[in-house]
A and B are shown apart, each in its own frame.
Chain A
Amino acid sequence: DVKVTQSSRYLVKRTGEKVFLECVQDMDHENMFWYRQDPGLGLRLIYFSYDVKMKEKGDIPEGYSVSREKKERFSLILESASTNQTSMYLCASTLKRGLGEQYFGPGTRLTVT
């Protein structure tokens, strides 16, 4: 079974802090994604990566950056956390770009106070 793990299930940070969210997948997938999930808005794509050291902006990249130094690991960085970044963050990976199933991690619920 594909496994996607995220470093934390719950995280509380203060405004202005730098926040790192880590995601690791064990199926040698080339494609990895970061979404945020908010009630009534569904999933919105923040960033994605189709290869090591490669990244592309999604629909809402402002205030975020990413890092993909190894194929299995995709990190989301909040350079200076703000209260409007309080959300559920979901990482996903897929073998085929946009064509097949996405495998999701359990999510990180981030609260910025």
Chain B
Amino acid sequence: GNSVTQMEGPVTLSEEAFLTINCTYTATGYPSLFWYVQYPGEGLQLLLKATKADDKGSNKGFEATYRKETTSFHLEKGSVQVSDSAVYFCALGGYTGGFKTIFGAGTRLFVKA
């Protein structure tokens, strides 16, 4: 079946460090891929998305590229801030999987000043 695997956390970085959170997926067909972010005490909100191979999603300095050949959608940011501390979820949706969105386990990021 369809699944999403993302790197385990927590990830701890200093301010202005480079961030990578790995995400790989298994799916039949052509899914859409998403990154959601959950700040403390809040629900999830969409960070970025990509709907087809080679698309790059970007928002708030974060980027991720839909790589069909490696079935990956890694999240990157060139310079993290303390305010980026949150839990990040990779997700898969679309026609595949019966229209349900499948979420990864989440990766907690701590950014130190």
- Would you give the shortest CB distance from A3 to chain B, in whole angstroms? 11
- Range of interface residues on A (Cβ < 8 Å): 20 to 34
Residues 91-110 of chain B, each 1 if its beta carbon lies under 8 Å from chain A, else 0? 00111011111011110000
Interchain CB contact under 8 A, B43 and A105: yes
With A42-B89, A90-B43 as known contacts, state yes or no: A102 contacts B101, CB within 8 Å: yes
Residues of B within 8 A of A102 (CB): 36, 44, 46, 101
Decide: A106 near B43, CB < 8 A? Known: A40-B105, A98-B101.
Answer: yes
The answer to the question of A43 belonging to the interface, with a C-beta cut-off of 8 Å to chain B, is yes
* Nearest neighbor of A43 in chain B, beta-carbon distance: B103
Given contacts A45-B100, A58-B100, A97-B99, contact A106 B41 (CB under 8 A): yes
Chain B residues with CB under 8 Å of chain A are 32, 34, 36, 41-46, 49, 89, 93-95, 97-101, 103-106
Task: Known A98-B101, A101-B49; judge A43-B89 contact (CB<8 A).
Answer: yes
Q: Which residues of A contact B (CB under 8 A)?
A: 4, 35, 40-43, 45, 48, 58, 90, 92, 97-107
6 CB contacts below 8 A, A to B, read: A35-B103, A58-B100, A92-B43, A101-B46, A101-B49, A104-B44
Min CB distance B52 to A, Å, is 12
Question: Which B residues are in CB contact (< 8 Å) with A41?
Answer: 105
The 6 closest A-B pairs by CB, nearest first: A98-B99, A104-B43, A42-B105, A97-B99, A43-B103, A104-B44
Q: Check A98 against B100 for contact (C-beta < 8 Å).
A: yes
CA distance A89 to B45 in the complex (A): 15
Q: How far is the CB of B95 from chain A (nearest CB, A)?
A: 7
Nearest chain B residue, comparing its CB with the CB of A44: B103
State the CA gap A48–B89 with chains docked (Å): 20
A4 to B42, CA, bound (A): 12
